[in-house]
Structure 1
Amino acid sequence: MNTHCLACHSEIEYPMTWNSFLFTPKERWLCGKCESQLQAIDGDRCGICSRPLFLVEPHHIKEGNCLDCIRWEQDPQWRGVLSKNTSLFLYNEYMKTYLARFKYRGDHILAKAFSVSIKEAVSAMNTSLIVPIPLSAERLQERGFNQAAAIATTASLQTQHLLVRKHSEKQSKKSRNERINSQTVFALSPNHPNITNEAILLIDDIYTTGTTLRHAAQCLKQAGAKQVCSLTLARG
């Protein structure tokens, strides 16, 4: 049983109840103070990207979707490519700091804080293959691990590495027009299995513009996937 917070290292207090005497309590990885700084996404959200609708101007919402997703869906090249993204938390300052430690300082164990939430979310989805978004070879060498793969592995998910990244340009730095018209970011891995009619779930850490996930989804759909959706820890 974990006894210290992964984030601040303070002692985790497990409530003493009759159930805790009879059954092993659910293991926790963050203390109450750190958990309270995570903002779970609940309530009304965009039906495609999970952006909370209270963050969107009312005139930028149509039929439950945000303006950005409406624009993606109006483009014939991208319409229906990514069926839906589910994000678990807002990318607030606490999450930004937490994920920076996880991604850039190599604190691989920090992914454990989200393993139960990830598992529960995946269990509610009807998908046949789980695919982590890959890093470029340069980024992988810099960090020493792929954060998307680590999130999935820590949650005990069985993954397929179906994609390779062709280049490492950061999509969020581009204008919207550049993102839409940019060259394909991904290719299928050598000796990939047949994915015709498969329902695929992409795993990544953050949904920011949605460009990376859509490029990955497009590659998989062109190879025969029936449907591609995604699960991300945070919605930027």
Structure 2
Amino acid sequence: MNKKETHCLLCAQLLQSEPSWKTLLTKQFPPCICKKCASRFEHAPSPTALYQYNDAMKDYLHQYKFLQDVALAKVFRQELQDQFNHEKSPIIPIPMHPLKQKERTFSHMEELLKAAKIPYIQLLEKTTAETQSSKNREERLQTASLFQLLPSVTVAYKEYVLFDDIQTTGTTLRHATEILLQAGAKNVRSFTLING
């Protein structure tokens, strides 16, 4: 059973939520942010992303990733559960470089999936600690390969789904896709939390 949040994880206001038959029968996660905070996030028109990048999302990413507030992995757990619950293809979160993960203390992509109780596998490792956010569009497009397969990994001839937090130029997802296809994947789709 999920621990019920009593206060919004983003603004700390008391949550005013009554259990409904829908949440009880469908085993939905209880809300962890208030309706006001939820309304600040803008849904993406794209079928390959949940949200658009805006000021609310910028604040969320800063708090979650850079201030290491791992509890915020829960914020989008219901939306991710709804998106991936019936996914048949293995889901691969975009990995962090080991040095970055040690610095941040957790893998923000894996924590999002864990909070939503979505199974995933890892076939890739990042080859550079340099972040794409530190580069302009041209530099991102000219970046050398960011990933390699993990040692002793075999990529089966089937479809995979890459999951990343944000897509701006698509460089990260393109590089990961190329590595998987070269290693024998049949097809690679991608899905992001945010469309940048």
Identify unmatched segments of 5+ residues in structure 2: none
In the other structure, the counterpart of 1:53 is: none
Corresponding residue pairs, total: 190
Deviation at 1:125, TM superposition (A): 4.1
**Does the 8 Å CA contact 1:115/1:154 hold for their aligned counterparts?**
yes
Say whether residues 1:97 and 2:59 are aligned partners: yes
CA gap 1:104/1:166 in 2 versus in 1, 3 angstroms = same
The reply to whether residue 2 of structure 1 matches residue 9 of structure 2 is: no
Higher gyration radius (CA): 1
Q: Per the alignment, do residues 126 and 105 of structure 1 end up closer, same or farther by CA in structure 2, a change over 3 Å counting?
A: same
In the alignment, structure 1 segments of 5+ residues that lack a partner are: 51-85
Taking only the aligned residue pairs, the percentage that are identical comes to: 35
Q: Which aligned runs of 4 or more in structure 1 are off by greater than 6 angstroms?
A: 22-25
1:28-177 aligned within 5 A: 28-42=31-45, 45=46, 86-123=48-85, 125-127=87-89, 129-172=90-133, 173-176=135-138
Q: Using structure 2 for the length normalisation, give the TM-score.
A: 0.87
User: Normalised by the size of structure 1, how large is the TM-score?
Assistant: 0.73
Tell me the SS of whatever aligns to 1:40: coil
Q: Which amino acid aligns with 2:114?
A: T
Query: Counterparts of 2:194 and 2:93 in 1: how far apart (Å)?
Result: 15
- Identify if the C-alpha distance between structure 1 residues 25 and 220 changes in structure 2 by more than 3 Å, giving closer, same or farther: closer
8 Å CA contact 1:152, 1:203 repeated in 2: no
- The answer to whether the 8 A contact 1:164-1:186 is kept is yes
Label 1:214 to 1:104 Cα distance change in 2 as closer, same or farther (>3 A): same
Decide whether the 8 Å contact of 1:167 with 1:185 is kept in 2.
yes
Query: For 1:16 and 1:156, how far apart are their aligned partners in 2?
Result: 21
Partner of 1:234: 194
Q: Is 2:183 the counterpart of 1:211?
A: no
User: 3-state DSSP class of the match of 2:43?
Assistant: coil
